[in-house]
Amino acid sequence: MTAVSQYNQMDLLRFTTAGSVDDGKSTLIGRLLYDSKSIFEDQLEAIERTSLQRGDGYVNLALLTDGLRAEREQGITIDVAYRYFATPRRKFIIADTPGHIQYTRNMVTGASTANLAIVLVDARHGVVEQTRRHAFIASLLQIKHLVLCVNKMDLMEYSQERFEQIKIEFQTFASKLSVPDIHYIPISALHGDNVVDRSVKMPWYEGSTLLYTLENVHIGSDHNMVDSRFPVQWVIRPQSDDYHDFRGYAGRVEGGVFKPGDEVMALPSGFTTTIKSIESMGGQVTEAFPPMSVVMTLKDELDISRGDMIVKPNNQPQMGQDIEIMICWLNDKKLQPDGKYGLKHSTRDARCIVKDVRYKVNINTLHRVEEDRTIGMNEIGRVLIRTTQPLFYDSYSRNRSTGSLILVDEFTNETVAAGMII
């Protein structure tokens, strides 16, 4: 059972695409779906019809992803669109984010759960401000794998020299980032070069195609299997005749491995007990690990409710109320110093006050801006918050799930910021 569930969990790759406007993201995703035979015939016929009406002169694969007609008429894609496709090797979820400079927040939304980021560069323009912005956000969000696709190579006559120039330019910038695994692929999304099939026009390129890279990138070790973390989402008490005394704790494993018989501790109470059983959709399992959703039953009846966390006694998360975070601001209204906000961390809801704005980050140079501490829409900065109740957390670099939180405007209920705990 566990081998099957592990296979299913590791078999899904979530990736995000980013780049400047008109770098060809929609065409690239359309090409991936088209060449991997992941679209239906009626979809293809509709695209062929629309391409003909528009006088495109070719089947415009970008129309596959630019789903809304109003967007098509403006020629832009807005918000985050999720696409699903599969090959015999792996399942994929694509978060397609817009290229406009004002949509940093959408990139943060789309990339927050991604294993890999594809950053597109137009071969004619090379590395631009948006390329650096997107690579920085991918690094900030601890995405371990990045693919730099140099697109529109057909417009540069498939020049190896141009590809190498862009690669060196990006490597210089990427040396300041914390992305351990970077791939460089020269492509033409329009003609399908090196997307799914190898390009005959670029015999000088000896690396993998984009799809091969996506199918084979190893993400199994990206999860934290060391620090055991189980935030409780729900306490299950059926109180029916069949399950009169049943008390189970439902949630998703966000770190480490839990097995029946393991000694565990409940936070915040600090009481310890052992795991009696672990149930999943398919029945009892012998172990649970990220990102499995399971129900645990414990030997002793402890006072545990939603927002509490089950951990191993010898490996506890940090616990505190004064927390340093990097935030990306998502709202039109600027961050208020001394402002009070609602806070959601893992399964716990709390409130907080902004104690201090430490600095803002200039996304293009990665320098700290200490003289201007106002943080507005799409800006990134470091702040200190004080919460109304203790949070059980790890640093974001150790665990993306227990190290992230969101701030909410208590009056409008809008999410105003995404935060990464330092």
204 and 64 in a common domain: yes
Q: What is the pLDDT of residue 221?
A: 78
Q: How far apart are CA 175 and CA 165, in angstroms?
A: 16
Instruction: Give every CB contact of residue 31 below 8 A, 6+ residues apart in sequence.
Output: 61, 189, 190, 192, 195, 196
DSSP state of 79: S
- Do 269 and 127 reside in the same domain of the chain? no
3-state secondary structure 89-137: CCEEEEEECCCCHHHHHHHHHHHCCCCEEEEEEECCCCCCHHHHHHHHH
**pLDDT value, residue 333:** 93
Residues 282 and 389 in one domain: no
Q: Six-digit token pair at 105?
A: 């927040």
In this prediction, residue 40 carries a pLDDT of 65
Q: Which among 252, 280, 311 is the end of a domain?
A: 311
* Residues 145, 118 share a domain: yes
Same domain, 273 and 377: no
Q: With contact defined as beta carbons under 8 Å apart, do 103 and 97 qualify?
A: yes
The domain boundary residue, chosen from 311, 332, 366: 311
> With the C-alpha atoms ordered 378, 384, 388, 389, is the resulting torsion angle positive or negative?
positive
- Residue 120's contacts (CB-CB under 8 Å, 6 or more residues apart) are 17, 18, 19, 20, 23, 24, 25, 28, 149, 151
| Residue 161, CA distances (Å) to 85, 144, 148, 187, 206 in order | 34, 28, 16, 14, 15
Number of structural domains found in the chain: 3
Residue that has been written with the tokens 């990665």 in this structure:
366
- Angle at Cα 113 formed by Cα 108 and Cα 114, nearest 5°? 90
* pLDDT at residue 53, as a whole number: 82
Q: Among 245, 280, 311, where does a domain finish?
A: 311
Q: Tell me, yes or no, whether 207 and 240 share the same domain.
A: no
Residues in the chain: 422
Instruction: Look up the CATH number of the domain holding residue 147.
Output: 3.40.50.300
Distance, CA of 308 to CA of 230 (rounded, Å): 9
Q: Which residues of 27-40 are buried (b: 16+ CB within 10 A; e: fewer)?
A: bbbbbbbbbbebbe
Report H helices in 157-259.
160-174, 210-216
Residue 327 · residue 349 · CB < 8 Å:
no
H helix or E strand, kind and range, residue 362: none
Q: Domain of 257?
A: 229-311
Residue 64 pLDDT: 66
Q: Give pLDDT, residue 101.
A: 54
pLDDT number for residue 7: 40
User: DSSP label at 371?
Assistant: S
What is the spatial distance between Cα 112 and Cα 137, in angstroms, rounded to a whole number? 10
The predicted pLDDT at position 26 comes to: 79
**Pair (55, 147) in one structural domain:** yes
Q: What angle do CA 373, 375, 379 make, to 5 degrees?
A: 120
In the numeric block, which tokens belong to residue 191? 């003609």
CATH code for the domain in which residue 254 is found:
2.40.30.10
Residue owning tokens 């330019």? 169
In this structure, the answer to whether residues 301 and 365 fall within a common structural domain is no
Q: Which residues of the chain have pLDDT under 50?
A: 1-7, 9-10, 68-78
Q: What is the pTM of this model?
A: 0.81
Say if CB 77 and CB 66 are below 8 A apart: yes
* CA–CA separation, 45 and 413 (whole Å): 42
Both 96 and 153 in a single domain?
Answer: yes
> 360-396, pLDDT tens digit by residue?
998 777 889 998 889 998 889 999 999 999 999 999 9
